[in-house]
Chain A
Amino acid sequence: MTRFGSGPLGRVVRSGVGRRRVQTVVIAIATMMAVASAVVAGALIVASNAPFDHAFARQNGPHLTAEFDPAKTSAREIEDTARLDGVTASAGPYPSTSLRMVDARGGHLPPTTLVGRSGPHAEVDDLDLKSGRWAAKPGEIVLDASFSGPGFQLGDTLKTSDDAADSTALTVVGFALSAGRTADAWATPAQVSALASKDTQVSSQMLYRFESAGTKGQIAADRKKLAAAVPSGALLGTQSYLDTKRAADRGAAPTIPFLIAFGVLGIAMSVIIVGSVVSGAVGTGLRRIGILKAIGFTPREVVSAYVAQALIPAGVGIVLGVVLGNLLAAPLLEDTEQVYGSASLTVAWWVDLVVPAVALLAVAVAALVPALRAGRLRTVEAIAVGRAPRTGRGQWAHRAAGRLPLPRAVTYGLASPFAHPVRTLAMLLAVAFGTVAATFAVGLTQSLNAVSAAQDPESRAAVTVVSGGAGPGGGERRPAEGEAQPAPAADPARVAAAIESQKGTDSYYGRTEAQVKVAGLSGSVQATLYQGDAGSGRYETISGHWIEGPGQVVVPTGFLERTGTKVGDTVRVTLDQDTKVSAHRRRGLRHLR
């Protein structure tokens, strides 16, 4: 006997779907919305799940980025390091240099590592060209994707220095992304080599992947092999992917819990909504089930018919939901990409498979439970239940409610949910999850705003003045879009005097970025130095307190790990450019930087 298609079962299913339009449309819409939100939620969860690791793996990122001094070792020797024991893949050598570029408005960029590569693709560090094209000739530059925005666009021109006579103009032709952060900008090898001068040293960059690179110790051992393979002093420095990963993960940390919670909540709500709607739809069809059994449908055929009747509109809803979910996820993933700098703009393929499969299963289970009950129901009961509610259930509630000093209609309504406990529970869960979702959605926005505000103390200031010229560490802010051109080299004392002379100035503080050396740490550390009422520019502290005066420093958690210190210890900090030595007593721990 034909079960579906033109057979009796197919006819019953089709007629049930076609004639019960409201029910069919409700199931389709509920499933569509559930699947769409689950696809979005799933995509966000995937995007928030170890974004660095995924991007790094996709690009075959380097475990170690090494800079060699070409004056102390030959290109052949550098290339030979690719064949060292334990090296599984490599790329380079690429000419590399560090520049302080100047934009068209005269603003200085932070120190930028410029690497010469003939193309974005390589065995190691296979770059994603996000927009534009690769630099094809000298005079062209590809910037890291993090620069992309109103301040820097394709076609903009950068200069390699302030000195007009010695400056080279570079036109931005593309934006690319390196998960391993091997460079801030790329140009042709010839261009980078051409920039070499007395003030601009060009080194050779090599990128390596190793057999063993899971821990700091393994990376250190790999580095040691490299250092031993070239003449002493030829290895200028290395950058471990573990440090890059820690920095990337720290940037994504505030949003990941929110995204995961939102995704889990969305999926749970989807299952409950679909379950409630489908159960309700099957539950209202009991009389029809009784009729089908009376004319000879077996219990199994009844169950099949009702599950199929729910699955057809649900199937349509699922297909539409996947399409809608992908459309809705695209802009959110774009935002996520900007947060992580490494996520994919598309929904993971398996999300588009798993979500519909789970939704179909959820609908099938949701339909199966009441359908099985209907299949087991004695035919006489099924017909009777279809005609009038079953008596007996919830009578105690009716009796109890009847004693309340309320109109009978009200007490009847109050007691009714107890006659259908499962249906009531499903409704309660749906309402509860809906409330949680609404609360969460509002809370998420507020929390992210709070996190954002906490990370940007300057946003609390009524007026922010950006002064030009080099600060103590050589770093200075680039003016924002629309801001006035920076004045050359401002005198901090005169700036302070000017601010104090302004009527209505409540308090002020000055801050600048500088590279400092910390005793016990190799390399320099980026520091923010304050002048004036530093309390106004405070970050949230997770331990200790904010800076209250000279001799105090607030640091991130990673600093404590690297230096093996704790709050209250003393560290020696030296400003890179000056010889001034200060003893800072750390009183607090800066949050999320």
Chain B
Amino acid sequence: MTHVIELEGVVKRYDSAGAPALGPLDLSVAQGEALAVTGPSGSGKSTLLNLVAGLDKPTGGGVTVDGRRLDRLGEHALARFRREQIGMVFQFFNLLDDLTVADNIQLPAQLTGTTWRQTAARAGELMQLLGIQKHARAYPGRLSGGERQRVAVARALVNRPALLLADEPTGALDTASGQDVRELLVDLHRGGQTIVLVTHDLALAEACASRTIHLVDGHLALDTRTEVVG
């Protein structure tokens, strides 16, 4: 079985005097797996996600994603790795308000050197898939929360990343929009997309993830495998 993520003895401390925010933690995520990370506030969920995304570096241990040791990469290489291998979806969308929906989606693809024609085609395909085609020229500020999150998902998927990371993707959405995003994640997982989902929402985890880990005080408290019910 090919592992997209491998964490070996990973420790992350924000305060050298205090207890680690995460770890020591060993964790492997297989290709095509949808992993939900749950736990109370301060349990280390977002820290884990940031380490896997290469947004942060571990204090100790090794983080390997898609065969690359992220803890050994510099900022420049990490940025290149992120743009090519990682797609991220944030709780508060983190879209660029001054770019149109289409531009937001195309931007990561353009960073990889893909031609404008190819990025436009890929963005169009994703917008069609996610039902936001009609908002292509709109600015994110004019969209609803659910629509914005769909744009964020499209942006995350535009480079066909090895790994999709989602940090509380329904946390800022109303129930109906949350349901839309939930279905979207299930569809992606069914399509073979490897997903790491950080959430407080156990129902979301249950619906979308084939595996759930529960963190408490930075340690792995529970690791369960479930059937995705959709």
Give the interface of A toward B (CB within 8 A).
1, 6-8, 11-12, 15-16, 18-20, 287-288, 290-301, 378-380, 383, 387
Contacts and interface: CB of A to CB of B under 8 A. Distances in A.
Closest 3 CB pairs of A and B: A296-B83, A19-B98, A8-B110
Contact of A380 (B55, B80, B82, B97): B55
B174 interface: no
6 contacts: A8-B107, A8-B111, A290-B94, A294-B94, A296-B79, A378-B55
B97 A19 contact: yes
A291 B108 CA distance: 11
B19 interface: no
Contacts of A297: 79, 83, 111
Contact of A291 (B75, B80, B96, B103): B96
Given A294-B88, A295-B83, A295-B107, A12 B96 contact: yes
Given A378-B56, A380-B50, A295 B97 contact: no
A296 B82 contact: yes
Given A295-B88, A296-B84, A6 B116 contact: yes
A298 B76 contact: yes
A379 B94 CA distance: 12
| Secondary structure dominating the interface of A | helix
A546 B96 CA distance: 76
B191 interface: no
B222 interface: no
Nearest to B99: A15
B113 interface: yes
A98 B104 CA distance: 84
Given A299-B76, A378-B55, 16 more contacts: A1-B112, A8-B107, A8-B110, A11-B103, A18-B98, A19-B97, A290-B94, A294-B82, A295-B108, A297-B79, A298-B75, A299-B75, A301-B79, A379-B55, A380-B50, A383-B90
B182 interface: no
Nearest to A294: B88
B155 interface: yes
Contact of B108 (A7, A296, A378, A387): A296
Contacts of B80: 296, 298
A344 B103 CA distance: 53
A293 B116 CA distance: 21
Given A1-B113, A8-B107, A383 B76 contact: no
Nearest to B88: A294
A11 B76 contact: no
A384 B107 CA distance: 22
Contacts of B84: 296
A295 B155 contact: yes
A382 to B, nearest CB: 10
A15 B103 contact: yes
Given A295-B155, A380-B50, A15 B108 contact: no
Interface string B137-148: 001000000000
A268 B207 CA distance: 63
Interface in B49-100: 50, 53, 55-56, 75-76, 79-80, 82-84, 88, 90, 92, 94-99
A201 B94 CA distance: 92
Given A6-B116, A299-B76, A294 B55 contact: yes
A321 B184 CA distance: 53
A378 B97 CA distance: 21
A378 B55 CA distance: 7
B27 to A, nearest CB: 19
Contacts of A299: 75-76, 79
Interface in B180-202: none
Contacts of B98: 15-16, 18-20
Contacts of A19: 97-98, 139
A463 to B, nearest CB: 71
Contacts of B92: 387
A290 B56 CA distance: 12
Nearest to A15: B98
A167 B98 CA distance: 82
Contacts of A292: 96
Contacts of B97: 19
Contacts of A294: 53, 55, 82, 88, 90, 94
Contact of A288 (B90, B96, B111): B96
A353 to B, nearest CB: 34
B95 to A, nearest CB: 8
B94 A291 contact: yes
B137 to A, nearest CB: 13
Nearest to B79: A298
A7 B88 contact: no
A116 B90 CA distance: 88
A15 B110 contact: no
A295 B55 contact: no
Contacts of A387: 92
Contacts of A287: 94
A383 B112 CA distance: 22
B107 A293 contact: no
Contacts of A300: 76
A365 to B, nearest CB: 22
B123 to A, nearest CB: 13
Nearest to A298: B79
B159 to A, nearest CB: 8
Interface string B27-57: 0000000000000000000000010010110
